[in-house]
Amino acid sequence: MISGCVTGTGKEILVDGSSTVFPISQAVAEEFRKERPDVQVPVGISGTGGGLKRFVTGGIDVADASRRIKDSERDEAAANGIEYTEFTVAYDGLSIVVNSSNNFVFCLTTDELKRIWEPGSKLERWSQVRDGFPDRPLRLYGPDTDSGTFDYFTKAINGEEDASRSDYTASSDDNVLVQGVSGDQGSIGYFGFAYYTENREILKVLGVDNGTGCVRPSVTTINDGSYSPLSRPMFIYVNNASLEHEYVQAFVRFYLSNATELAEEVGYVGLPDSEYQIQLDRLN
């Protein structure tokens, strides 16, 4: 597949990757189409790993990623002659959620989260998480192993990327996880902040205590870094060969110029204007 291609129906920019980054990339694509109806911008959701797998072989123009590209992916891109540019587009607060009917848990420590999610964990009842919690089933929902959110969470909470118990309901589609948690009274799950804010009426978000007190994710706590260790940057990776096409460069320029407004519109946190400007200058 030739990236940045001109099809029989016009120009096309292929975007795929993170389900977490999807809401902002989709919003950007929709707004860009209003200015450039001659350009098609389909946005896929195959997870950060799945998107980068296509990206490093030249299959797509833009990869959405909720983590930085791995050394192995960088090496594969180089082997395939793929050069690229990384852009940071917004900040996310990875959100820990439970069923809205849950009336006993409001905050968990990072140690409690680790004991729930670490490899080999046998915790199956809420009473095993903390003394005083009721003796009710504990059922887990989370992203699959192709997800950058999975990579980030396992590193931040379990101390090692990809280190996680496997007996949980996994999906690459965060909307599936939302439905799972909202329909299961014993549930706990995690995904990007935008999916919580979009579904706040049917979910309950928890605070996280890293030893300095309980902090819930919000625009303020994500922006100032106090929601730690689960605040993180989100990226797009753009094929440099694709950037040679005027319409691809126009799309990336539009993305960075409108990211603050559109990030907040879908529930994420924009960067300072100066950081977007530095990245825009790199396109010149």
Q: What is the pLDDT of residues 186-198, one digit of tens each?
A: 999 999 999 999 9
Using the predicted structure, report yes or no on whether residue 5 has a pLDDT greater than 70.
no
The residue-averaged pLDDT of 6-28 equals 87
Euclidean distance between CA atoms 210 and 190, whole angstroms: 16
User: Concatenated DSSP letters for 76-128?
Assistant: HHHHTT--EEEEEEEEEE-EEEEETT--S-SEEEHHHHHHHHSTT----BGGG
**DSSP SS3 for 137:** strand
Burial 27-51 (b: 16+ CB within 10 A, else e): bbbebbeeebeebebebbbbbbbbb
Residue 71 CB burial class (10 angstroms; 0-12, 13-18, ≥19):
exposed
One-letter identity of residue 14: L
- CA–centroid distance for 279 within its chain: 20
Using the predicted structure, report yes or no on whether residue 149 has a pLDDT greater than 60.
yes
Question: What pLDDT is recorded for position 2?
Answer: 47
β 107-109/207-209 pair status: parallel
The predicted-structure confidence for 82-99, as pLDDT tens digits, reads as follows: 999 999 999 999 999 999
Question: What pLDDT is recorded for position 284?
Answer: 79
All domains of the chain in start order, with CATH: 6-91+233-283 (3.40.190.10), 95-229 (3.40.190.10)
Please name which of 113, 136, 112, 109 lies closest in space to residue 125, comparing C-alpha atoms. Answer: 136
Contact 140, 189 (CB under 8 A): yes
Question: What pLDDT is recorded for position 236?
Answer: 99
Question: What pLDDT is recorded for position 1?
Answer: 43
Question: What pLDDT is recorded for position 279?
Answer: 97
